[in-house]
Chain A
Amino acid sequence: MSDVVFDRVEKMFGDFPAVRQTSFDVAPGEFVTLLGPSGSGKTTCLRMVAGFVAPTAGRILLGGRDVTRMPANRRNIGMVFQSYALFPHYTVAENIAFGLKVRRVGRAEREARVAEALRLVRLEAFAARYPAQLSGGQRQRVALARAVVIRPDVLLLDEPLAALDLKLREELQVEIKRVQSELNMTTLFVTHDQGEALSMSDRIAVMQAGGIVQMAAPHALYERPNCRFVANFLGRTNLIEVEVAGRLADGATAVRAVRGEGGWAVAGAPDQVFAIGERCFLATRPEHVRLGGSPEQAFEGVVRNLIYQGSLWQVEIEGRHGEALSALVGAGDAVPTRGAAVRASWDPARSFLLKAEEPAM
């Protein structure tokens, strides 16, 4: 049985559909991320699970109970906010004890559980401090301890890392993941940061314009995006407009460029059926594109730009008809100069086709 069930939920703000009929579920102990740009409805979904926003239609189940009309304080959820939302007039220990106090947990048990929660986030030494005396990372660890100490049915994380600087964000990412798996806590996480989503989640639901476009495990989502939006929201993807030319003997599909004379074999397993002559997009990740290679699987062009990324160079190549291709080249490898004519190629198994139309929502 799933801990969170989101059943055909809809939310209208006036005439604006913030969330269009959306369904998903979270299994016990699972870490699910709602990923999307701002305005995609991910935060509204989380706030409906929390009980701060009432859905216009549909049902929400937590641990098998229908909570659609239940006020937030009776749902047994733990929530971590982007703003930390620590009570400034309480110490760290009092903040963590808040949920236990309103649940009328006895003093001895309360103190034991607060101490345990402080140990969990490694802030034992800070119990008597006030939130104003803590750093951003420490505050968010207190908020996490406060949310899990009540043993919630589901832990809700609303962009908890967005207010932190890069290094702290990475540290806290590890910390949250460690706490979550130590407690085997069912978790729903909202972020617009694809890196966070990929590294922390069991499954990711990519949202756009109030609906889920694709929901899958991180590697499946990265390797097999089902549309151009997902392909470019999670990392970057080269898209070349092509036409299906025919089938090859090994099961691969032959395509030819709509502009120019390039032709390629595509061997990535297709989710969808592509008819001969259909216009679609050939997709391949920059890290799978290498310079050189055989002429029959080649993209010919001129180096327009070189972007240094530390361990890698990003090489931007422009084809004769203005098509763009991006390749990642190891810093130790031979790097072409700007303006040089180059040939790039990729393994047919590392490319796949995407439909010309985006899925309707």
Chain B
Amino acid sequence: MTRIAAPAERRAPWFLALLPSLVVLLLVFGLPLLELVYVSFHPTGGPAQIGPGLTLENYTVVFEDRLFADVMARTVGLGLAVVLCCLVVGYPVSYLLARATGSWRGTAFFLVTVSLLVSSVVRNLGWFPILGESGVVNWILTSTGVIQTPLRLVGNIVGVMIGLVHAELPIMILTLTTVIRRIEPDLEEAAQSLGGGPVAVFWRVLLPLSLPGVISGSLLIFTLSISAFTTPAILGGNRVLIMAIYIAQQFQIVLDYPAGASAAIMLLVTAAGLTWAATRIRARGGEAG
């Protein structure tokens, strides 16, 4: 026994390999986060100042301030809308990818994931020539006579939604494809042979069996959407007031640090909770599959 155990004793503990990155993360991430928590429980002491004494006021404001409640509602609504769009657009694509065979599959996967490799600033700015007032979409719609005056597709919540769906769709597709691929094609054929049309096959077989992927993908995308900053900032033109923009304004314009800190903490807790839930659901779906 001792002879077998000996080499393991001499080996350095595994967590030593993680130590350098842990130190860096603690310094640049953990400490500022703690400070944020600390600030969020203090009253404001004027512009860019923190007042004395402890208070819960920065958190109870959620229930009192009408503006803040609007920001919260807008953020959640945006998150839900993006999730819904990603599901509706992403599910059919994921299904085709999951059932694709041969060389076609590699190409399709590349096309789906390539936009993840582009910097989010570039990806967002790329939408302007397409969605702008004299952009491609408006040009097609006006020149074919579908509409008379150009639609506003950027600088508002529509633009933010388009940008977020575009950015997060690959994540939804990758999540769904993994789950759908685990569903035996025989099950679909069995359902068809029993008289199930495409609608019945989807609602009674495909969807229930891919539900773990649908839920975990939705939670991930909801989390990413409510905490997104770059896309709302660029495509919303700072006019779409959602949580991330609100927080940035509290810190940079209003200079009410405690208000910004408490909002950031609330967003962080929500996002972390949902991510944890998504991971749990995915793990359970993995066991079942």
Contact = CB atoms under 8 A, between A and B. Distances in A.
Interface of A: 50-52, 71-79, 81, 83, 85-89, 98-99, 101-103, 143, 146-147, 150, 156
**Secondary structure class of chain B's binding surface, majority of residues:** helix
Contacts of A102: 191, 194-197, 200, 204
Most buried by B among A51, A87, A101: A87
B194 A150 contact: yes
B161 to A, nearest CB: 33
Contacts, number: 72
A89 B182 CA distance: 14
Given A88-B209, A89-B208, A98-B204, A83 B192 contact: no
B70 interface: no
Interface of B: 184, 186-187, 189-197, 200, 204-205, 208-209, 288
Given A85-B184, A98-B204, A102-B200, A73 B190 contact: no
B190 A150 contact: no
24 contacts: A50-B189, A50-B193, A71-B192, A71-B197, A72-B193, A73-B192, A73-B193, A73-B195, A73-B196, A73-B200, A74-B195, A75-B193, A76-B195, A79-B190, A79-B193, A81-B189, A81-B190, A85-B186, A87-B191, A88-B288, A102-B194, A102-B196, A150-B194, A156-B193
A89 B195 CA distance: 18
A87 B189 contact: no
Most B-side CB within 10 Å, residue of A51, A75, A99, A150:
A99
A103 B190 contact: no
Contact of B186 (A78, A83, A150, A156): A83
A103 B186 contact: no
A76 B196 CA distance: 10
Contacts of A101: 204
A72 B208 contact: no
B187 A72 contact: no
Nearest to B196: A102
B205 A103 contact: no
A103 B208 contact: no
A79 B192 CA distance: 10
B209 A99 contact: no
Given A52-B192, A79-B189, A102-B191, 10 more contacts: A51-B192, A77-B193, A85-B189, A87-B190, A87-B204, A89-B208, A98-B191, A99-B194, A101-B204, A102-B196
Contact of B192 (A72, A103, A143): A72
Contacts of A71: 192, 197
A253 B40 CA distance: 108
Contacts of B194: 73, 78, 98-99, 102, 146-147, 150
B184 A150 contact: no
Contacts of A50: 189, 193
Nearest to B187: A85
Contacts of B195: 73-74, 76, 99, 102-103, 150
A79 B208 CA distance: 22
A73 B189 CA distance: 9
A72 to B, nearest CB: 4
B200 A72 contact: no
A74 B200 CA distance: 13
Contacts of B208: 89
A207 B39 CA distance: 81
Contacts of A87: 187, 190-191, 204-205, 209
Nearest to B188: A85
